[in-house]
Amino acid sequence: MTSTVAQPQQDATTQSVTAQTVTAQTVTAQTATTHTVTNQPPPLTPYDASEDAALLEGLRREGAGWAEADLRRLGLRAGSEQAQEWGDLANRHEPVLRTHDRYGHRVDEVDFHPAWHHLMEVAVTEGLAGAPWADDRPGAHVARTAGGLVWGHAEAGHGCPTSMTYAAVPALRRTPELAEVYEPLLTSREYDPGLRIPAEKRGLLAGMGMTEKQGGSDVRTNTTTATPTAEPGVYTLRGHKWFTSAPMCDVFLVLAQAPEGLSCFLVPRVLPDGTRNAFRIQRLKEKLGNRSNASSEPEFDGTVAWLVGPEGQGVKTIIEMVNCTRLDCVMASATLMRKTLVEAGHHARHRGAFGARLLDQPLMRNVLADLALESEAATTLTLRLAGAADRAVRGDAGERALRRIATAVGKYWVTKRGPAFTAEALECLGGNGYVEESGMPRHYREAPLLSIWEGSGNVNALDVLRALGREPAVAEALFDELDLARGADARLDAAVTRLKDGLAEASPVGARRLVEHMALALQASLLVRFAPPAVADAFCATRLGGDWGHSFGTLPDSADLDAILERALPGGG
């Protein structure tokens, strides 16, 4: 009956319906006939997520121009209706923990919506997990980072296991016997989900377990113990982790206290004989965002673990992993910025208010242009960091030193800008941006996570001080990089001079201030060298010259909004 009355053309039937049988659905259908829907933007999808001048220029500049065709293909895929729908579905249908099977056996598995597996399959086959470590081409790590910058337009949460898989490889290399077995599988481009004997799978995923209840930043307080067995290199773990994301991964790098101190271990979910290792998942976290991804609380009791790196050098070993995941945090923040800017630009192009398109309203142009500057600075820095990582792993000492300091600087600043950026971009859509269907709330909720994990803001800022104190080469590498732009912009020159003066007085209480200045100088130097003059000039005027307010959309009159917007949003979004 309801479906009959919902079709207005069947008048005779409709008139026979009594008032009592009119349903809510009927009312909705009738209401919809009261007006014609206008002034709502068409769907953005399909679009090309790689259509970004800063991205493509950075890709070529950092030595991965050979990957451009693949990147363009992935960009179209990321902006397709299908991929965007996967992103939506994977977050609406959150992973579910299944502790036992129907017969009562402990299984500790996590079930995901099929959309999650589709996203993972694309990411792994496109080389966004461990693949660059098996690729000798210079620029392979840059190509992966650029791939993340476009594929992240589809969904952010699944970037967690792909990032950890990528990052586990250099840490695992500290024990060559383990790397020999597992590296070819961690670098595989085959997505092979399901808990089975790792060495028999076509591809593996890796996670990491550092954080415990009593402390995450200060892992020295870890209480999980590692007891040596009679077999060399084999231990059993007892204890817990408070956060361990992506618990369906095949192997985990885990920190635990061995007789010689905090050490790093490889923990497989399934042992070589096919039995399940003890990895009891107590709960999944109920999180602000990052809903597609599972973050768990596992307990270890008699859990078999293989030592990675020397006993007592757990932090030194796992820091190899953290260096890589920190770069991915910068990349993921830059991706959220670009994605939400594209959404905001599209809306402004198609929505009118007070007699003009939003895109033509002067103040909206200021907001979008300011966001565009921030987005380009984030993307350009991300690719420079990826270039440094790529050259560092190939033995370039100067790039290794730059990577050491600039990754922590970038992680601090770019991720810190993410929440403010996504909030502003969301607001460009007005009330529509506050509604889940727009996707903007999901991006907004994701943004703060990137400045929490892999070293929260203070921890990263203090890590910059630590690097400066312990390794004189890192300050030299940073200033060598900044000097490449010397003389091109007086505001940048002055900022670099201030920075050099400030280094002498570096202290924990001023660490954020110092690192913020470093990040802005680094971003400005890259834009001065590589971006169009309108972009570089507006960035230096505002972020270095003080000609700026406290919110986005406060660029001065001197800013060339037309040039900035035409570059960031060709055709207006």
Ligand X SMILES: Cc1cc2nc3c(=O)[nH]c(=O)nc-3n(C[C@H](O)[C@H](O)[C@H](O)COP(=O)(O)OP(=O)(O)OC[C@H]3O[C@@H](n4cnc5c(N)ncnc54)[C@H](O)[C@@H]3O)c2cc1C
Residues making contact with ligand X (CB under 6 A): 207-211, 215-218, 243-245, 287, 290, 295, 449, 452-453, 456-459, 462
Going by C-alpha positions, the residue among 137, 112, 290, 287 that lies closest to residue 205 is 112
DSSP state, 544? I
Q: What is the closest distance, in whole angstroms, from the C-beta atom of residue 498 to ligand X in the complex?
A: 24
In whole angstroms, the minimum distance from the beta carbon of 153 to ligand X comes to 21
The CB density around residue 34, as the number of other CB atoms within 10 Å, is 6
Q: Which is nearer to ligand X, 242 or 530 (CB)?
A: 242
Number of Cβ within 10 Å of residue 421's Cβ equals 27
145 burial via Cβ count (<10 Å: 0-12, 13-18, 19+): buried
**Beta carbon nearer to ligand X, 222 or 438:** 222
Listed in sequence order, the residues at least 6 apart from 242 whose beta carbon sits closer than 8 Å to its beta carbon are 211, 212, 213, 216, 297
DSSP lists the bridge partners of residue 195 as: none
Residue number with CB closer to ligand X (55 or 465): 465
CB within 8 Å of 448: residues ≥ 6 apart: 288, 289, 418, 419
Nearer to ligand X (CB atom), residue 80 or residue 211: 211
Q: Which is nearer to ligand X, 218 or 301 (CB)?
A: 218
Q: Is the dihedral of CA 189, 190, 195, 199 positive or negative?
A: negative
3-state secondary structure of 566: helix
Min CB(164)–ligand X separation in Å: 7
Least distance in angstroms from the C-beta of 259 to ligand X: 22
Nearest distance from C-beta of residue 254 to ligand X, angstroms: 9
Helices (H) and strands (E) in the chain, counts: 20, 12
Name 123's Cβ contacts closer than 8 Å, sequence gap at least 6: 129, 151, 158, 159, 162, 191
Phi first, then psi, for residue 314 (nearest 5°) are -60, -45
Q: How far is the CB of 287 from ligand X (least distance, A)?
A: 5
Judged by CB, which is closer to ligand X: 167, or 406?
A: 167
Whichever of 138 and 215 has its CB closer to ligand X, that residue is 215
Q: How far is the CB of 500 from ligand X (least distance, A)?
A: 25
At its nearest, how many Å lie between ligand X and the CB of residue 252?
Answer: 9
Residue nearest to ligand X (CB): 216
Which residue number, 420 or 452, has a Cβ lying nearer to ligand X?
452
Q: Is the CB of 239 or the CB of 345 nearer to ligand X?
A: 239
258, 307 contact by CB (below 8 A): yes
User: In the numeric block, which tokens belong to residue 52?
Assistant: 């970004």
Nearer to ligand X, 251 or 367 (CB): 251
Spatial neighbors of 55 by CB under 8 A, at least 6 apart, are 71, 146, 149, 150, 338, 379, 383
The residue assigned the tokens 């377990």 is 209
Residues forming a β-bridge with 300? 239
Q: Specify whether the CB–CB gap between 253 and 308 falls below 8 A.
A: yes
Min dist. Cβ of residue 441 to ligand X (A) = 17
- Smallest distance, ligand X to C-beta of residue 466, A: 11
For tokens 């885990």, what's the residue?
A: 254
Q: In whole angstroms, what is the distance from residue 428 CA to residue 262 CA?
A: 48
